[in-house]
Amino acid sequence: MMDTGIPRALADVQVEAIWEGTTNVLSLDVLRALGKSSVALNYFIKAVQERIDIPLEELNNLKDLKKAIGLTDYGLGQISAFFTELKGYKGEDLRDVMEERARKLSLTLARVYSASLLIDHARYTKQDIDIYVANYWCTMDPISYLPSPGSMVPSTTHSVRTLERILALGKIPAKL
C-alpha cells in the first residue's frame, strides 16, 4: 500500500483543507481591514502609483517596462473599481460578495504590489534581467483575479438566499 502513493495523497488532502481555510480567513481579514477605513487602501494605491509613475523621458529609455507598467496599472484600476462597486451592496448581499471575492482581492493585491516592486527595481538597475523578470511576473498569470467592473454578480449563495426570501415573503419583490 505504501508503494502506491495513496497514503501521501491522503495526507496532502488533509493539509490542503487546512491551508485553504487559513488562506480564506486571512483574505477575509484583509478585506475587512480595507473596508473599514479608506486610509489603508489609499496608502496602498499611492505606494503602487509612485512606483509605476515613471516620467516620460525616463520611460523612453525603459520601453520594455511599458507592458509591465500597463498591466500593473490595470490591476490597480481593478482594485479601485472593486471597492467602488462594493459600495452598491448592503447587508447580506455585501457580506456574500465580500466573502466570495476576498481571496481574489488578496491575490490581486499581492500580485499588483509585487509587480510594482519589481518595476521599481528594474527602473533603478536598468538591467535586462530585471526588466525581463518584471515583465514575466506581470504576464505569467493574470495580474488581477477580480471581475471586470460592472460584472460583479452575486454568487449562487446570494441567489439561494434571494430565493429563500422570496419564498418567505410569498411574493416576488419589484427589485431583487
Residues 6 or more apart from 123 whose CB is under 8 A from it?
54, 58, 62, 65
**How many CB atoms are closer than 10 A to CB 139?**
12
Residue 101: predicted pLDDT? 82
Q: What is the pLDDT of residues 74-129, one digit of tens each?
A: 999 999 888 888 888 787 777 787 778 888 888 899 999 999 999 999 999 988 89
The structural domains of the chain, with segments of one domain joined by +, span 2-169
Residue 19 has pLDDT above 60, yes or no: no
- % of the chain beyond a pLDDT of 90: 23
Residue 155 has pLDDT above 50, yes or no: no
Residue 176: predicted pLDDT? 44
As given in the structure block, the three cell numbers for residue 55 are 516620467
